[in-house]
Structure 1
């Protein structure tokens, strides 16, 4: 081993010319994997460390449209200090001004916040600022309305003084999807606004601060045992922002698997680079064997060389990946869903490094073993004779490393089945491309010989001994398939906003319209927009407390997809089937129905609950339980941008309950401004949401996701290019030899170049079609199953991506072959 190390170090003194491609491929793959893993870990760690601040307490309890009873609040107090608050949406405008905007209203009590550093600009204490008829507002709201401390604002039915501008709101991240900037008032001020009324959309929030030694995990089971039908949602500080955590974990998993795929693609480049390096060293290997060196010594020497270069590349890639969170925070920290906890995270770094080392073993060991096991006499020949397999030890090492890669990926995945499927798909793609290459060679060998010399030469290059067909097909296929997949995902993300919006989407959503003022509201809309498409919908909220007689509180496991059993749900009643809904089972109730309560249920929700027509659902409305029979099942068009309800009841079921109305209005652009101004001034307790604001918010979220996919694509593109370069480098020596022989026989450089162009063009055309099909299939799965989005690809960019990729491949192939075409015959022949 000492002698092998001496040989290895002596050869490495000459530089990394032959192993540069190995180092680049491993560096790209490991840096991408370590970077994605470190960024995801830093965000999740930030959520965990700041759990109390983000949640606002050790435990958070949320109740929809009702305040906790005295008994419930007394039970909360048994666990520690309690803070009570209300959150809802409301319109805010300057007194005497024409502009009102939607804000996220938060009413808090005197002990808020239990945790976290809530700061106002200027340092005024929050409770001091909220004393009296005052409000504190976010900087974004101050900028929108040009407000300053001391200005007066209208909120609901009251006017308040702006007493502070929020500089830091620690529990903002736990609120999830929001449409407006924050407005905060005291609980004592809330009744004067008139915003909390039967049917309004609001939530009561209770935060608990518990002793350091208390068991926070015991709170939820204890409360649910004492109040099984309370219908509240409980979270603790270990998962302060569950939506953000799920988003980050899911995106991290997807990007990790994409990065792993890119690393596998780069692994092909590693194999090609090692093969090219050893091909250049064939004379040295043959000489050493002729002088008595054993295959074992030579194998150890070159294994040490490759191993040293690989370890350095992996280490540098891991270091670069460790710096990714700092770089992202510096460049785009405000776009992150939660502030990361910067630091070194060993698990993603070690995982990325392990992937890199194992990939190097899988793809480098095989060509190394084959090269070192060939007899010296065969190495002195042209290198076109078939070579034997390297042996079972090498095969077992390669298979074992591949299984280790799969095991690590599956063990660390949030969804192991998805990770296993992803890896199986990557393996299947390699097998398909290898089979395609074998098929191309077989077909080319059996085709009639063309009359044209160049065509005959190009056809022979596809199947002759030593042909690069397999390397080129695998490299080109992996790269183009990955490009096509990412292009499909990218166009789908942009299509969610650009093409999923109906041509006649409503202009506004109106929320919390008081029942007595519905006709007055409708008259106002008609005055400003006589031809408006106005839809008024009754609005209530309440939880599902029983399914076909079984209490939800007694269910040990809530079925997957049964999200309607978690927390309050929107409820409504209707005489007719709403637009965008299609009946798929049962019958709709007749006009004027006055029999037992009936409900129409979304068919997907019914499947998740395991119920159908004739079964029953029990809901709780303001503490009153109502059991309704499922009369029909509906298929809902969720992209209609209207009000869609999972449960619609017969009118006689809910008409007597206190409730408000919601409305959508589609008006012409010229009518929007006046309608918005008068509606917000005439109905101060009604929340008005512009559809374009919703779209902009959703677009911002999809832009973040698209940017993440684009980042993964950049690594994949770099890896794909490296693979192609490796495939070309692996055959450079043979290409040079062929070009020299053709020149000696009278061929011109242009003729040889045209033959290569035909060869690469045929391969690119075959592989591009396969890559387009496989990339489309993979993209469809990621978009519809992983991201749970609608399938809305834009084909021109996808086709262009594949064609450009194929064209670039041909160009790189010709550029890579130029040195072979430029070689002087006398110089090359002297070295043979």
Structure 2
């Protein structure tokens, strides 16, 4: 061992240029894994750390379209200090009505906030709004062109702006919003007159518990006390479930991208080590002539490779630990929370362990071949071929591979998904290996072309010592990765264009009072002749039981059961809604007046395991409404209209306080005038411009696309490094062939053209296969992981593959230049 260390260090002092590719590949792969894991851990840790401030309390009770009754308030107060907030959408405008903007109106009591700080920007006229005062978000101030001291109209009230909101501690916990915030106290909210029976508003009661209380236990006790009242319960450990789910899903995908990058980098490690050790054949043979044992040779080069690999892994871990800080500095505003710098040991250790196992997996075979180099090879040059590694080497590689699989599956949030991913990567590697073998066999059996350069190019694919197998695996992985990421990227960027119909409505109108629906229709007809108006009744309520199972009694919700999370939109109709098609069961007659029936979305029924004839129960304003499923519908969600998962038969929901919703389709020219008129005559109605909704969705998809593109850049860099490694691994044989051809009279140009034809053949074959593999992988990620529609841009995907193919050709020819420049006498002496 001492001699092996001495030989290793002496060899490294002479330079480790041949092992640079090993270090680069491991650095890229480990950095991708460590960076993604650190960022995901940083965000989720910050969400947990700020759980009380984000939620607004230790426990939160939420309900739609009503406030707590005296008994419920007493129960909340018995648990701890209580703060009440009411949130709803409302139109805010200047007093003259010149501008009307949708805002998120929030009424707070004197105890708000229980945690965190509510703060106004410098220049405010007070600490917080009181009475007919309002604090508004900077975005709302910009759109209304108002400043502190000016007046704005919300509902029936004119409110004085006292300042711009600088910090709203529970903003992240309240989820997706359609407009900037406007905050008032409860007296100011009452002055607007917007909280009416049937209005869509959410009441939240935050509870600050005494020290030492278990928030989850208290939340469960309160929920059990009011089982049928329709309360949605959260505690501080899950303050922002939607954000946490999104970050977890995105982190899972990016972690898989990182694992792919590391798997690709592993191929590069193998190629780099093979190339390095091929260049050391004479040195190894000389050492054996001088008496060195195979064990000493093996340990010496294992130490060298281990030191270089360790340096690459360490550098990758350090760079990965800095990724959260870099993301905060570059795109902090796009994050739901801005995590502070911290070392997250688990993702860093996992990344380092992955790097070590990947390096070990791909260096064992080259080291075994180097160990088997004989002293006689000094006299045989490139004629001697390396044998297959012995069984112990294969066994060690199998154990290492099993450890990688166990680590990937055991540490994943969704082990089954990770297992399928590992199986897919292994299957792709095996398939590419078989394709490499098939290319060699087919090339050997093709008729010999008359053109000498084409004949030479085809011979290069199957001749003894040809690197076709390595090139196919490296090139196939790289091009498949290019295609997969292009498919995902074009799906994200094209999602809006593909889902917005050509004739989308101009406005969504919400909270139209039942008594004013005819007057609303008349106003739109008078102010926007020819406009298409569609109105539907609207209520909200959570599903409390289905198929005989109570939602509150479930330990975990079924996978994909979004219908059970929070409140659902409810409506009733005598006829099937536009944009829906009954696929099972039957719709009720127009004059139906029997027991309660409901039509359910067929996909939701599949997830919940429901069928026609089963029962589902929702809670409407605290009253449980059971109904029998009469039909299942296939819903066209891309119509940009109102699509309800649950549609009830007439006579079930009409007696509950509710309102109407409407879509208005009209020319863009008259939108501003209609907006002002509706806001003036119907203060309670909220108008949402479809363009603004699309803009917000586009922003979210843009952030997702940026994250994918960032992770992809590392994976693509690893793919390029792999290709460079495959070309480098064949450098020795390329020099030998080039020298012989030049001695036989071939020119440099002819040698270069022959190699260009060889790489072009491989790139053409593998580009077609990569398009297929990339489409399958991209489809699964888009539809299965991100749950988006399938809408790739095949033109961009094709262009990406073409660029990848030309890049391969360019890299191959650049890698051939040293072989062309080799001097015959020197090359023959060295070989």
TM over 0.5: yes
Q: 1:3 to 1:554 in 2, by over 3 A?
A: closer
Aligned equivalent of 1:741: 740
Instruction: Describe the shift of the 1:238–1:549 C-alpha distance in structure 2 as closer, same or farther (beyond 3 A).
Output: closer
Q: Is the 8 A contact 1:92 1:155 kept in 2?
A: yes
Contact 1:57 1:208 in 2 (8 A): yes
Residue 13 of structure 1 is matched in structure 2 by 13
Range with bigger deviation, 218-227 or 727-736: 218-227
Q: Could you say which residue in structure 2 is the equivalent of 1:94?
A: 94
Do 2:38 and 2:321's aligned partners in 1 also have CA atoms closer than 8 Å? yes
Most deviating of 694-703 and 656-665: 656-665
Distance, in Å, in 2 between the alignment partners of 1:13 and 1:557 is 59
| Residue matched to 1:198 | 197
Residue in structure 1 matched with residue 542 of structure 2 by the alignment: 543
Alignment of 1:253-268 (within 5 A): 253-268=252-267
Secondary structure at 2:542's aligned position in 1? strand
Q: How does 1:488-499 map to 2 (within 5 A)?
A: 488-499=487-498
Deviation string 1:489-526 (CA, Å, 9 cap, x unpaired) is: 00111121122110001110000001111111111111
CA deviation digits over 1:459-481, x for unaligned, max 9? Answer: 11111110010111000000000
Asked if structure 2 preserves the Cα contact closer than 8 Å seen for 1:272 and 1:723, the reply is yes
1:44 aligns to 2:44 (yes or no)? yes
Shift in Å, 1:550? 4.8
Over 3 Å counting, the alpha-carbon distance change for 1:379 and 1:257 in structure 2 is: farther
Q: What is the deviation of 1:299?
A: 0.7
Q: RMSD in angstroms over aligned alpha carbons?
A: 1.6
Greater Cα shift, 366-375 or 736-745: 366-375
- In the alignment, which residue of structure 2 is the partner of 1:391? 390
Q: Which residue of 2 aligns with 1:445?
A: 444
1:26 Cα deviation after fit? 0.8
- Corresponding residue number in structure 2 for 1:181: 180
- 2:558 and 2:335 map into 1 onto residues whose CA distance is 32
Task: State the shift of 1:704 in Å.
Answer: 0.6
Give the Å deviation of 1:826.
2.4
Q: Give 1:556 shift.
A: 5.6
- Write the distance in 1 (CA, Å) between the matches of 2:87 and 2:72: 19
Relative to 1, partners in 2 of residues 1:271 and 1:559: Cα closer, same or farther, differing over 3 Å?
closer
Aligned to 2:403: 404
Q: Say whether 1:158 aligns with 2:157.
A: yes
Query: Any conservation in 1 of the 2:130–2:187 contact (CA below 8 Å)?
Result: no
Distance in 2 between residues matched to 1:826 and 1:790, nearest whole Å? 62
Report the equivalent of 1:606: 605
Partner of 2:755: 756
Query: For residues 548 and 279 of structure 1, do their structure 2 counterparts lie closer, same or farther at Cα, with a shift above 3 Å needed?
Result: closer
| d(CA) in 1 for partners of 2:774, 2:562 | 32
Q: For 1:107-131, what per-residue CA distance to the aligned partner results, in whole angstroms no more than 9, with x for missing partners?
A: 11110000002211238697x5322
Q: Greater CA deviation, 773-782 or 490-499?
A: 490-499
1:578-617 equivalences in 2 (<5 Å): 578-617=577-616
Deviations 1:293-330 (A, max 9, x none): 11100111111111101101111111111111111111
2:284–2:373 contact (8 Å) kept in structure 1: no
Q: TM-score, normalised by structure 1?
A: 0.98
Q: After the TM superposition, which of the residue ranges 688-697 and 491-500 deviates more from structure 2?
A: 491-500
Q: 2 CA distance for matches of 1:567 and 1:541?
A: 10
5+ long unaligned stretches in structure 2: none
Secondary structure of 1:643's match? coil
- How far did 1:592 drift? 2.3
1:653 match: secondary structure: coil
Q: Distance in 2 between matches of 1:44 and 1:163?
A: 35
In 1, Cα distance between the equivalents of 2:720 and 2:552? Answer: 56
Distance 1:577 1:241 in 2: 36
Aligned residue for 1:27?
27
Shift of 1:25: 0.7
Which segment is superposed worse, 556-565 or 622-631? Answer: 556-565
How far apart are 1:387 and its partner, in Å?
A: 2.7
Please report how far the alpha carbon of residue 386 of structure 1 lies from its aligned counterpart in structure 2 after TM superposition: 4.0
Map Cα deviations across residues 386-430 of structure 1 (whole Å, 9 max, x no partner). Answer: 432322332222222222222222122111111111111111110
In the other structure, the counterpart of 1:85 is: 85
Are 2:772 and 1:773 aligned?
Answer: yes
User: In the alignment, is the contact (CA less than 8 A) between 1:136 and 1:163 conserved in 2?
Assistant: yes
1:229 is aligned to 2:222: no
Counterpart of 1:387 in 2: which secondary structure?
coil
Q: Is the 8 A contact 1:95 1:153 kept in 2?
A: yes
Residue of structure 1 equivalent to 2:272: 273
Q: Report what 2:468 is aligned to.
A: 469
Aligned residues: 831
Q: Name the structure 1 match of 2:656.
A: 657
Contact 2:135 2:165 in 1 (8 A): yes
1:786 is matched with 785
Q: Give the SS at the match of 1:131.
A: coil
CA 1:248–1:552 in structure 2 vs 1: closer, same or farther (change >3 Å)? closer
C-alpha distance in structure 2 between counterparts of 1:371 and 1:76, whole Å: 74
CA–CA distance in structure 2, aligned partners of residues 117 and 552 of structure 1:
35
Which deviates more, 512-521 or 613-622? 613-622
Deviation by residue 1:701-742 (Cα, 9 ceiling, x = unmatched): 001100011011101111111011100101111101100100
2:801 alignment partner in structure 1: 802
Moved more, 194-203 or 542-551: 542-551
Q: How far is 1:203 from its partner?
A: 0.7
* Counterparts of 2:395 and 2:767, CA distance in 1: 33
* 1:774 positional shift: 0.4
Compared with structure 1, are the counterparts of its residues 125 and 421 closer, same or farther at alpha carbon in structure 2 (3 Å cutoff)? farther
Provide the residue aligned with 1:283 in structure 2. Answer: 282
SS at match of 1:286: helix
Distance 1:317 1:533, change over 3 A: same
Question: 1:252 and 1:559, CA in 2 relative to 1: closer, same or farther beyond 3 A?
Answer: closer
Aligned-partner SS, 1:427: helix
- For the 8 Å contact 2:533–2:664, the answer to whether it is kept is yes
- The structure-2 alpha-carbon separation of the partners of 1:384 and 1:803, relative to structure 1 and needing over 3 Å to count, comes to farther
- Match of 1:459? 458
Greater Cα offset, 2-11 or 137-146? 137-146
For the Cα contact (< 8 Å) 2:433–2:472, is it kept in 1? yes
Write the mapping of 1:216-615 to structure 2, written as runs, cut at 5 A. Answer: 216-378=215-377, 380-548=379-547, 550-555=549-554, 558-615=557-614
Matched position secondary structure for 2:612: coil
Deviation at 1:446, TM superposition (A): 1.6
Q: Which moved more, 1:484-493 or 1:643-652?
A: 643-652
CA-CA distance at 1:658 after TM superposition = 2.2
Could you tell me whether the CA contact under 8 Å between 1:326 and 1:342 is conserved in 2? yes
1:67 paired to 2:57: no
Distance in 1, matches of 2:284 and 2:552, equals 74
Secondary structure of the residue aligned to 2:271 is: helix
Structure 1, unaligned runs of 5 or more: none
Looking at structure 2, the residues matched to 287 and 784 of structure 1 have their Cα atoms a distance apart, in angstroms, of 58
Distance (whole Å) between structure 2 residues aligned to residue 285 and residue 59 of structure 1: 69
Are the structure 2 counterparts of residues 213 and 513 from structure 1 closer, same or farther at C-alpha, using a change threshold of 3 Å? Answer: same
Distance in 2, Cα, partners of 1:623 & 1:830: 91
Instruction: Answer with 377-386 or 743-752: which moved more.
Output: 377-386
1:4 CA drift (Å) = 0.8
Deviation, 1:380, is 4.0
> Is the contact between residue 64 and residue 621 of structure 2 (CA under 8 Å) also seen in structure 1?
no
Whole-angstrom CA distance in 1 between matches of 2:322 and 2:683: 50
The DSSP-based 3-state class of the residue aligned with 2:433 is helix
Output the TM-score relative to the length of structure 2. 0.98
